[in-house]
Amino acid sequence: MSAVTYKTDKADQSRARILDAAARLFREEGYAAVSLRAIAAAAGMKGGSVYYHFESKQAIVIEVLDTGIIAVHGKVAHTIDSLPAESTAAETLRAGILAHLQALFEFSDYSSANVRIYSQVPGAARESNRRLRREYEALWGRLVERFVERGEIRFGTDTRAFILLLIGSLNATLEWFDINRGNLQGLAASYSDVLLNGVLAERETKS
Amino acid sequence: MSAVTYKTDKADQSRARILDAAARLFREEGYAAVSLRAIAAAAGMKGGSVYYHFESKQAIVIEVLDTGIIAVHGKVAHTIDSLPAESTAAETLRAGILAHLQALFEFSDYSSANVRIYSQVPGAARESNRRLRREYEALWGRLVERFVERGEIRFGTDTRAFILLLIGSLNATLEWFDINRGNLQGLAASYSDVLLNGVLAERETKS
DNA sequence: GTCTATAGCTCGATAGAC
DNA sequence: GTCTATCGAGCTATAGAC
């Protein structure tokens, strides 16, 4: 134990158990439906003990929501940055789509809780998370704009609509894809095929 | 007033006001966060009066959830059925996508409440709605399969994944598109462009 | 049809023992 | 760090007046 470690291991572990339990319960039942006593019980303690680690239920949900976005943003940013400089639009978008899906399902309680309860948490918690959402959308925005300028993505594509289509469709997989039964690489490939090439056997001619 | 009209107009109107108020509040705050008193107040009555029209809060949410799906299913099915028999895959999918978005935003409190709280309502309400969701997905499934057989949609496309991508991305527009500021036809066209043709300037070559 | 009143619970949060 | 005990508030649902 280093001299600069002020927090005990026990406190950190209890705090983490509270967050994990809260993320899972918020995902399953919503924000208002989950009581502090239920979070405490799932974390192996009594209701009153939670207030040693968090000052309010709202403080817990803020951390849960932010963790969900940060995990996905970090994974996608790191993946994109690790690609060769000469990567094509197709290679880059495919890698980003796979990374987004991997992060979603690796931290599924946090990311699913974020998608499901964001609109239902107290205003202060929503505002805290909104900035992180905007930053993540901006990451994709820069990526897509770069390829529009290079001419690899079709001119005329509504960049913002495309990004929100992409993120919205990927996040929706949390509602139906079973990571224990399906193949995530296959899912990412199918989604990439549609988003990059469309589903028509022959493209429509420009009007 | 016909002899077979047993219900009074007043009862029907109060019932409709309760459902409208419930849909709006559930959409904004979630299921558990909305009290029966709040629904009643938004409908212009007191808490106890709601029980003249509905036997429980759960009965209200079941009707709200089902209405959201039925409205979209009905609009899309009617639109597709009204197309000329010789319509192409592109024409049909574009019409279906526009119809889905139109229904979403025409009944936005009901459809948005459905998307947002489905996973958080009591099990009985979720099961009631699940059948309707499956039927709506099957409508799109038959549509897509028809065009796969005709060769208008690419062989190898994972039909189920594509349908859930499509529905998921369209439903996600409820979270960001402002019907009062944006153009719904334009949104439908942008989404159709991406889903039908993809965003790459030149399609990837089959490997 | 809508009201008032209330039974029986559970909630978030706090206080203080250990 | 976690406990027990509790406050004040709000919840769903019901009963019965009007």
Alpha-carbon span A121 to B160, nearest angstrom: 32
User: Furthest-apart CA pair in chain A: how many Å?
Assistant: 70
Q: Give residues 135 to 154 of A whose Cβ lies within 8 Å of B.
A: 144, 151-154
Tokens coding B105: 């935003």
Axis crossing angle, helix B159-172 with helix A159-172, rounded to the nearest 10: 120
pLDDT tens-digit readout, B156-203: 879 999 999 999 999 999 999 999 999 999 999 999 999 999 999 999
Domain assignment of residue B164, yes or no: yes
Domain assignment of residue A130, yes or no: yes
Domain assignment of residue B203, yes or no: no
Domain assignment of residue A18, yes or no: no
Alpha-carbon span A122 to B84, nearest angstrom: 49
- For residues B2-25, give the mean pLDDT: 85
pLDDT at A207: 54
Contact list in A for residue B172 (CB cut-off 8 A) is 164-165, 167-169, 171-172
* Spacing of B36 CA from D11 C1' in Å: 9
Domain assignment of residue B99, yes or no: yes
Q: How far is B15 from chain A (nearest CA, A)?
A: 25
**In Å, how far from its chain's centre is CA B185?**
17
DSSP state letters, A135-204: HHHHHHHHHHHHHHHHTSB-TT--HHHHHHHHHHHHHHGGGT--TTTS-HHHHHHHHHHHHHH-SBSSPP
Nearest to B191 among A144, A165, A172 (CB): A165
**How many domains does chain B contain in total?**
1
Contact A33 B172 (CB under 8 A): no
Contact A168 B171 (CB under 8 A): yes
Contact B191 A120 (CB under 8 A): no
Nearest CA in chain B to A166: B169
Alpha-carbon span B45 to B37, nearest angstrom: 9
* pLDDT surpasses 70 at B7: no
Contact A204 B190 (CB under 8 A): no
- For residues B7-13, give the mean pLDDT: 84
Contact criterion met (CB below 8 Å) for A96 and A143: yes
Tokens coding A193: 């095929």
Contact B176 A164 (CB under 8 A): yes
Q: What is the mean pLDDT of chain B?
A: 95
Q: Does residue A159 reach within 7 angstroms of strand C, measured from its CB?
A: no
Contact A191 B117 (CB under 8 A): no
Contact A172 B165 (CB under 8 A): yes
* Spacing of A119 CA from D8 C1' in Å: 28
Nucleotide nearest to A57 (CA to C1'): C12
A10, amino acid identity: K
Q: Does residue A206 reach within 7 angstroms of strand D, measured from its CB?
A: no
Residue with tokens 């197309």: B83
| 3-class secondary structure per residue, A84-150 | CCCCCHHHHHHHHHHHHHHHHHHCHHHHHHHHHHHHHCCHHHHHHHHHHHHHHHHHHHHHHHHHHHH
Domain assignment of residue B115, yes or no: yes
- Per-residue pLDDT of chain A in tens (207 residues, 90 and over written 9): 455 556 679 999 999 999 999 999 999 999 999 999 999 999 999 999 999 999 999 999 999 999 999 999 999 999 999 999 999 999 999 999 999 999 999 999 999 999 999 999 999 999 999 999 999 999 999 999 999 999 999 978 799 999 999 999 999 999 999 999 999 999 999 999 999 999 999 999 865
Contact list in A for residue B188 (CB cut-off 8 A) is none
pLDDT at A157: 77
Query: In Å, what is the CA distance from B130 to each residue of A136, B55, B64, B125, B127?
Result: 32, 22, 13, 9, 5
Burial environment of residue A187 by CB neighbours within 10 A (0 to 12, 13 to 18, 19 or more): buried
Contact criterion met (CB below 8 Å) for A171 and B176: no
Question: Which residues form the domain of A157?
Answer: 57-197
* Spacing of B39 CA from D7 C1' in Å: 28
Nearest to B196 among A117, A155, A199 (CB): A199
CB atoms within 10 A of CB B81: 7
Alpha-carbon span A140 to A162, nearest angstrom: 10
Alpha-carbon span A116 to A128, nearest angstrom: 16
pLDDT tens-digit readout, B94-115: 999 999 999 999 999 999 999 9
Size of interface A-B (CB pairs under 8 A): 164
Domain of A123, CATH number, reads 1.10.357.10
CB atoms within 10 A of CB A52: 12
pLDDT bracket for residue B205 (50, 70, 90): confident
Domain assignment of residue B142, yes or no: yes
Share of chain B above pLDDT 70, in %: 95
* Spacing of A37 CA from D4 C1' in Å: 14
Contact A201 B154 (CB under 8 A): yes
Contact criterion met (CB below 8 Å) for B143 and B100: no
pLDDT bracket for residue B155 (50, 70, 90): confident
pLDDT tens-digit readout, A48-104: 999 999 999 999 999 999 999 999 999 999 999 999 999 999 999 999 999 999 999
Alpha-carbon span A168 to A160, nearest angstrom: 12
* pLDDT surpasses 80 at B6: no
Output the CA torsion sign for A160, A162, A166, A168.
Answer: positive
Q: Give residues 174 to 193 of A whose Cβ lies within 8 Å of B.
A: 175-176, 186-187, 190-191, 193
Give the residue among A167, A197, A156 at the shortest CA–CA distance from B189. A156
Contact criterion met (CB below 8 Å) for A182 and A101: no
B168 touches chain A (CB under 8 A): yes
| Residues in chain A, overall count | 207
Domain assignment of residue A73, yes or no: yes
Query: In Å, what is the CA distance from A110 to each residue of A60, A64, A69, A105, B4?
Result: 12, 6, 8, 9, 54
Contact list in B for residue A191 (CB cut-off 8 A) is 161, 165
**pTM of the prediction?**
0.96
